[in-house]
Amino acid sequence: MPIYTCTTTESTLPRSIKAALAREIATIHSQINHVPSTYVNVAFHELSGDNLYTDGAPASPVLVSGWIREGHPKTEVTRLATEIASAVTRIAGVPAEQVLVVFESSPASFAVEGGRVLPEPGQEQAWIAGT
């Protein structure tokens, strides 16, 4: 259900770190948002050095954008953002100052997976049982 997109420059995140981070994001998301980790997608966009800028100068932040269904408790989304940001620093060794995590959301009814409209938060079990 969720989509995480991590944007950074080439070689900022070695291959083994990307795999470890994808696993950790799946684990954290599953625990906080009550979705089996099998539904957690993580995409890495590795840009060349002349394609990423902070303050108008080439830079290598790690920008994480997550999409989740609308309706999760706001405090939980904040906790999710905090823990994902912390995981990037802990696993990839990227200073917190270079890590930005942002969540966007839209109604579950605006999303389709496995040919079916996604469930509202709290209705996951019935939806999964229906597959």
The string over 26-45, giving b where at least 16 C-beta atoms fall within 10 Å of a residue's C-beta and e elsewhere, is bebbbebbebeeebbebebe
Residue 35 and residue 28 in contact, taking contact as beta carbons nearer than 8 Å: no
Q: Binder to a copy of itself among 31, 34, 54, 123 (CB under 8 A)? A: 54
With binding defined as CB under 8 A, does residue 126 bind a copy of itself?
no
* Least gap, CB of 125 to a copy of itself (angstroms): 18
With binding defined as CB under 8 A, does residue 39 bind a copy of itself?
yes
CA-based radius of gyration for the chain: 16
Name the residues that contact a copy of itself, by CB under 8 A. 1, 3, 5, 7, 15, 18-19, 22-27, 37-47, 50-59, 61, 63, 65, 67, 74, 77-78, 81-82, 84-86, 89, 96-97, 99-107, 109-115, 117
